[in-house]
Amino acid sequence: YAANAMLATRISFMNELANLAEKLGADIELVRKGIGSDPRIGFHFLYPGCGYGGSCFPKDVQALIRTAQEAGQGLKVLQAVEDANETQKSVLTGKIVGRLGEDLSGMCFALWGLAFKPNTDDMREAPSRVLIADLLARGARIRAYDPVASHEARRVFAGESRIEFVAQPMQALEGADALAIVTEWKEFRAPDFPAIKSMLKSPVIFDGRNLYDPAVPRKAGLEYFAIGRQ
């Protein structure tokens, strides 16, 4: 529990620094490289994004908090880690609403990534679930792609007619107003940005995993919103 709680703490810490970097006009990638170069810290689990999920980190952080409460001791730092992570899962929603407005009725969003992390079909506590719920609540439709988690997503969102699952990432862009990236699958790392621009109704990418140097999609004529990057 303590090991996973420590790793979750690093993630939430970086997420909060990334949010601060946006406010201050700083670049969280430079901060990450700076503090990661300190051998006492290292680079592992220093990547900001739209929150952690899965079967281990959320459960183990909550279990350790509960164990401490039962022993009559609060764990203020870990409670803050949990709270920060829940808030971070809505960070992409905030960026989308800030750019396109609160009412997303009639809009369609391409979604790349459903699993909580690459190389799994696990959607437990996945940030994609929060984003999808937020978009649907605002009247949007979704065209989603994930290399392996689509079958699990069909189960999770069974009966939801406003979500379409496609077999290829570029298929998700057909008829979409904007693209949101939620899972850092390797196949998303070098896309055809001019093709993305030509397919989207609004040439906007909301990147919850900081996959790209912001200058690259912008050079192709895309608006690019990442986590803690200018």
131 vs 158: CA distance, rounded Å: 17
Q: How many CB atoms lie within 10 A of CB 94?
A: 14
DSSP H helical segments within 56-192, as ranges? 57-70, 76-88, 91-100, 127-137, 150-156
Active site residue 50: no
**Annotated catalytic residue, options 8, 11, 46, 56:** 56
Tokens standing for residue 93: 């929603």
User: 148 burial class (0-12, 13-18, 19+ CB within 10 angstroms)?
Assistant: middle
CA-wise closest residue to 215 among 203, 226, 202, 201? 226
SS3 192: coil
Q: Which backbone phi and psi does 108 adopt, to 5 degrees?
A: -125, 135
* Residues taking part in catalysis: 56
